[in-house]
Amino acid sequence: MKELMAHADRMGIERVCLYLGKSLIQDPTPEQLREDNDYALRALKGWERRALGFVYVSPKHVRASLAELDRCVAQGPMVGVKLWVARRCHLPDVDPIIARAAELRALIFQHTWLKAGGNDPGESTPHDLVELARRFPDVPLVCGHTGGDWEQGIRVIAPFKNIYADLAGSDPTAGYTEMAVRELGAERVLYGSDAAGRSFASQLAKVLGAEISEEAKHLILGGNLRRLLAPILKMKGLKAD
């Protein structure tokens, strides 16, 4: 955490979101989910003013995931949910997790990708997230990486006002942020670093180098996330600033 925050300080980043722990197991057992969340909880200690935790859950283990939601969010410091690649999110298995997260006002981040050679078996696409958004139209959902193939991902999620585009993870290609703002509106676009898989600098460049208004940049770099997290932070007696 000291090293991470040193890099964040150098780049002018005030707060970070943490999830997944350290194992990077794509199809974790209930025990591995708990171990990864324990690791993230330890990392948060002492950094509560600058680090926000998202609980790692899996639709393959609904009961264990609901228990982790209660342990880490309802009774713990975490404020969001991380869904990765164990099972695609269009399947109804994920619904109890989404419903409980919504009760807790936890923000839901779903990894999405569109691979030219085909996704991994449990890996979600923006199309899958759209199916989930149809079932939960009032629940904010973050489309992690906007599917990687962002030109397609942006178009897929555009009609669904409860889906937000996450800019993190791909190369800092010119036009990415401009298209997201044009098609979705700046209020539905979120900066993300994907650290340590990517550098803070490369991902900030997507926003700071974009040909968009300064107001849009402020929303993307922090304003939108503050707004989305405000309900759960208020419930926990924490400040969004």
Segment 109-138, tens digit of pLDDT: 999 999 999 999 999 999 999 999 999 999
**Please, where are the H alpha helices in 105-211?**
126-135, 150-157, 176-184, 200-208
Q: What does the pLDDT look like over 143-159, one tens digit per residue?
A: 999 999 999 999 999 99
Q: Rounded distance, CA 140 to CA 131, Å?
A: 13
- Whether residue 21 has pLDDT greater than 90: no
pLDDT for residue 132: 98
Could you tell me how many helices (H) and strands (E) the chain has, helices first?
A: 10, 7
Contact 158, 184 (CB under 8 A): yes
Q: Rounded distance, CA 235 to CA 132, Å?
A: 25
Q: What percentage of the chain exceeds 90 in pLDDT?
A: 94
- Whether residue 239 has pLDDT greater than 80: no
Give me the residue label for tokens 């940049």.
Answer: 217
**What's the pTM?**
0.97
Of 61, 79, 64, 62, whose CA–CA distance to 15 is shortest? Answer: 79
Four-way CATH pick for 54-233: 3.30.70.1230, 3.40.50.300, 2.40.40.20, 3.20.20.140 = 3.20.20.140
